Amino acid sequence: MTHKVALITGVTGQDGAYLAKFLLDKGYIVHGIKRRSSSFNTDRIDGLYQDPHTKNRNFVLHYGDLTDTSNLVRIIQECQPDEIYNLGAQSHVAVSFESPEYTADVDALGALRILEAIRILGLEKKTRFYQASTSELYGLVQEIPQKESTPFYPRSPYAVAKQFAYWMTVNYREAYGIYGCNGILFNHESPLRGETFVTRKITRGLTRIAVGLQDCLYMGNMSALRDWGHARDYVEMQWLMLQQETPDDYVIATGRQYSVRQFIETSARMLGVTVEWRGEAEEEICVVKSVDNQAVTGMNAGDVIVRVDPRYYRPTEVETLLGDPSKAKRELGWEPKITFEELVAEMVAEDLKLAQRDALIEENGYQIMSYHE
Ligand code: NDP
Ligand code: GDR
The pLDDT of residue 123: 98
2 is catalytic: no
Q: 87 CB less than 6 Å from ligand 1? A: yes
Is residue 112 scored above 90 in pLDDT?
yes
Mean per-residue pLDDT of the chain: 97
Helix, strand or coil, per DSSP, at residue 166? helix
Average pLDDT, integer, range 108-134: 98
Going from the N-terminus, what domains does the chain have, and what CATH number goes with each? Answer: 5-185 (3.40.50.720), 198-225+259-318+339-363 (3.90.25.10)
pLDDT value at position 178? 98
pLDDT in the model for residue 371: 57
Please indicate whether residue 319 is annotated as part of the active site: no
| Mean pLDDT (whole number) for 320-343 | 97
Residue 250 CB coordination number (10 Å): 25
- Compute the distance from residue 85 Cα to the ligand 1 centre, in Å: 11
- Maximal CA-CA distance, the chain: 65
Candidates 9, 127, 136, 179; catalytic one: 136
pLDDT digits (tens, 9 = 90+) for 205-245: 999 999 999 999 999 999 999 999 999 999 999 999 999 99
Residue 262's pLDDT band (cuts 50, 70, 90): very high
Helices 110-120, 157-176: crossing angle, 10 deg rounding = 20
Is the C-alpha dihedral spanning 146, 111, 161, 194 positive or negative? Answer: positive
Q: Give the CA angle between residues 167, 170, 174 to the nearest 5°.
A: 135
Could you give the strand order of the β-sheet that contains 304-308, starting from the edge strand earlier in sequence?
217-219, 304-308, 285-291, 273-278
pLDDT on residue 368: 76
